[in-house]
Structures are given as C-alpha cells and as structure tokens.
Amino acid sequence: MQNTFKNSKVIKKYFYGLLLRYLSVYIRSENSVVEISQEGFPISTYLKHSKQLFLNQGCATVLPPDVSLRSFEQLAQEDPDYVILNGSIHYERNIQSFFYSLYDSCSHKTRIIVLYYSSAWRPLTHFASILGIRSRTPEQNWVDHKDIVNFLTLADFEPVLLESKILFPFYIPLLSNFINRYLAPLPFFRLFCMVNIMVARPLLKSKSKGLSVSIIVPARNESGNIENIIKRIPKMGPEDEIIFVEGHSKDDTWNEIERICKKYNSLPITCLKQTGSGKADAVRKGFACASKDILMILDADLSVPPEVLPAFYRALCEDKAEFLNGSRLVYSHEGKAMRFLNMVGNKIFAVAFSFLLGQKFKDTLCGTKVLSRENYEKIVLNRKYFGEFDPFGDFDLIFGASRLCLKIKEVPVRYYERAYGQTNIKRWRHGAILMRMLVYAAKKLKFI
C-alpha cells in the first residue's frame, strides 16, 4: 500500500508537471492568472501572479447559493489575463449559466483556458481516484469538443485553439517523454489523448469606433510605386498616418519618398531611413514610430492593392479577429504574379503552420498583416521566445499572435504582377530560412 501511495505521488507530479509545461507556452511570467476549480491540485499555485478561486456553483455542497456570485464579482475585480478552468466543467450542473456569468466577469483581454478530460479515459480516471492518484470528485459531465464549443459560443466566447495532450500519463524514463512529446501531437494519436486544452476569448460587447490606422510601407527599390501608394490608400480612420521605411535602395526610392512628402505635405506622412537590413527590421522600425490604434503592413510593390485595406480595418473594428493575415490563394492571380514553385511552397507552409499553430492558414507568406498596437507591444515583450532570425517579420508576428492566443483570420486579397522593379525574394535561400523557422516553432509550440 505504501508503494502504491508513493507511485501515485510520482504519477501525480509527472501529470501536473506536463500540464504546467503546456500552459507555459501561452501563460507568460508577466501575466495575471485566476484558476477556477473545485478541489484537488491547484495549478495556479505554480504560476506567477496567480490566484485561485473555488466556485461551487451547481455543486452538491452546503455553501450558500450566493457564493458563486460573490466569486464572479471578485473575478471581475481581478481582471486577469488568463482564467484557467481546471476541470471545473465536469462538475457544473448548469454549464451554460456558468459561462454566462464568466463572460460578464471578463474583460476583452482575458483568455479562458478550459481543461477537460476525454470521456474515453473515464474508467482510468475513476481507477486513479481509487488509488489516490487524484482526488475523489463527483464528476457529472463528460463533454466533447463540440459540446464545449457550443457552450462557449452561446455565451459569446469564441474558441481560438484546441490542443489534446498527454497520451501516456505514467512516468517511465525516456519512454514517457517520447510518447507525450513526439507522438501525442500527431493527428492520429491526438484522438487518444487524455487532456484537452481549449482556449477561448470573450467577444466585444460593442463594435470599436473611431480607431485610426498606422500604415507601414517597407520600401526597397520601389521608386516607381511610391506616389501610387499615396494616391491609392483609402481613408479608414479619422486620423490615419502613412509611414515609409526605405531600406538601402539601389534606385532613387529615398529621393522619391522625400519628394512625395513635400508634394503631399497636407497628409500625415512619415519618412524613415532603415539602419538595419531586411523587411523585418523595416517593419519594426515603422511600428516603433507608429502612433495609431491599428497597425497595418502594406508591401510597396503594390502586388496587393491598397484598396483592400478597409476590409482588414472593418474586420478588426468589428472584432471578427485580432490578427488579420492576407490570403493570395483564394482568387486567381494576374499573369505571373506568383510562380508555380512559390505557390507550392506557400501551400506546404500553410498546412504546416496550421498544424503547429492550431488555427487555419491558407497563405502565411502574404505581406499584408493587421493587428492592434496594443497586441503588437505584447508580441514585442515575448519576441525572444521564438528567436529573432526571421528576416521577413511575417512569422515573428504570426508566432507571437499565436502564443498570445489571439484569434487569427485571413482576408482574401487579389494578387497582381508588380508594375515596377523586381522582387526582393530569394526563393531558395529564403525557403531554407522558412524551413528552419518551421522546425524551431515546432519545438516551441507543438512538440514540447
């Protein structure tokens, strides 16, 4: 009996150690966390700046009926970055009512992490309770993914991503790590995982109004496009600004930018000269100078028309998503806008990134990307997590948005041949860099 108890402690420590490792992908040291649970192992005690609330709503206890209400009010006062539902869904008599109350207590920045168990593991969890590996708890609900999505949607939460983890909850040196790190994330084995982690966000109660835009235009050897950019960018917010970042051009792009600034001096145009190299450096320089609520990237080659930007603006203001990515693989292309091998590469990377990030991508390589300045500043704080070897800046933003659990959606755009100059993309060299980033992201997000 003593050996059984000792083994149960080892299993319990290993199991919750895995959960903490998975949660640390999304929960960072600067985040505030509130955990809602009934009893048992408090995950939040191992996270910085966290608190634990015991909500007994709907449970068979003798607590006064107003305990839940006071607890939810306390949650609203905390205004946490993350709320962890540590298996509490299994105990709620009225899950829908619970999510309604939770929504009323959350701000828009809050992310809800729902931890729930696969019903296929129900016999084993019952056996684990008998052995003392887990607390004896009166589970009432064994719900699947569709049930959770339905409950969340009815309460005005939007699911952002879903992960299934822990294929082998017992600790055997080397073997356990191999199974849970490398086999569990694969599509077939995910069907048999024990723990599901669903992240959701509360939708805005009303649309955002009066937001202005900073449009960042990285420009290298794009002299012939500069004036067209000014003429074609539509008005979106009340005080939009355009920021050109010139990057060591061999033509007279810088002189053209200066000329345009003088010619259109009534418009809010900023001209910056890049000191570093690469598009990522140019975008970061432009974002650092930006002063508006929404940040947009527009490639200076005009292969994506500026006229499409209001669609991105509207989607963000109406809370359709928090990170918007252009997709050039919906409409047909003009002429030779995208070479065949480039298209094949785009589709391969889109499938790979959709798997890694848990959100659907059709075209990860489109340069047109939109997000709020507030969320970009959060991405900057955690940039070192993925490294800083992305020369394009696209994946720095995509990886960062995914780790923040931002809702990502794509806006279909038409893709045109460039009217001036030549592409700055080096297909094979840049393809090798993308592959390297893909492998690195897999280690940081999926195979952990």
Q: The whole model's pTM is what?
A: 0.86
| 235 shares a domain with 138 | no
332 inside domain: yes
| 406 shares a domain with 287 | yes
Q: What is the residue whose two structure tokens read 């539509």?
A: 234
Do 195 and 103 meet the contact criterion of CB atoms below 8 Å apart?
no
Q: What angle do CA 304, 309, 310 make, to 5 degrees?
A: 150
| 222 shares a domain with 185 | no
What span, in angstroms and rounded, lies between the C-alpha atoms of 90 and 118?
Answer: 11
| 198 shares a domain with 112 | yes
| 318 shares a domain with 239 | yes
**Structural domain range at position 61:** 2-202
208 inside domain: no
CATH number, residue 35: 3.40.50
228 inside domain: yes
Last residue of a domain, one of 167, 202, 237: 202
| 168 shares a domain with 25 | yes
Which pLDDT score is estimated for 5? 45
Last residue of a domain, one of 202, 223, 244: 202
Q: Which two tokens stand for residue 223?
A: 């002299």
Q: What angle do CA 288, 294, 296 make, to 5 degrees?
A: 75
Give the tens place of pLDDT for each residue, 323-363. Answer: 999 998 888 777 666 767 777 777 888 888 889 888 888 88
Q: What is the residue whose two structure tokens read 């100059």?
A: 421
The DSSP element (H or E) to which 114 belongs, if any, is: strand 111-117
398 inside domain: yes
117 inside domain: yes
Which pLDDT score is estimated for 30? 83
159-184: burial string, b at 16+ Cβ within 10 Å, e else: bbbbbbbbbbbebeeeebeebbbebb
Task: List, for the chain, all residue ranges whose pLDDT scores fall below the cut of 70.
Answer: 1-8, 38-42, 44-46, 48-71, 125-139, 335-337, 339, 389, 419-430
| 424 shares a domain with 358 | yes
Give helix then strand counts, H and E, for the chain: 15, 13
337 inside domain: yes
207 inside domain: no
Q: Which two tokens stand for residue 237?
A: 């917010």
DSSP 135: -
| 434 shares a domain with 352 | yes
The residues near 50 (Cβ < 8 Å, ≥ 6 apart) are 32, 33, 34, 35, 44
Closest Cα to residue 55, out of 39, 66, 71? 71
| 254 shares a domain with 163 | no
Which pLDDT score is estimated for 38? 63
Last residue of a domain, one of 178, 202, 226: 202
123 inside domain: yes
| 175 shares a domain with 85 | yes
| 238 shares a domain with 196 | no
The residues near 89 (Cβ < 8 Å, ≥ 6 apart) are 95, 114, 116, 141, 143, 148
CATH number, residue 363: 3.90.550.10
The domain tally of the chain equals 2
Q: φ and ψ at 403, to 5 degrees?
A: -65, -30
What span, in angstroms and rounded, lies between the C-alpha atoms of 348 and 358?
Answer: 16
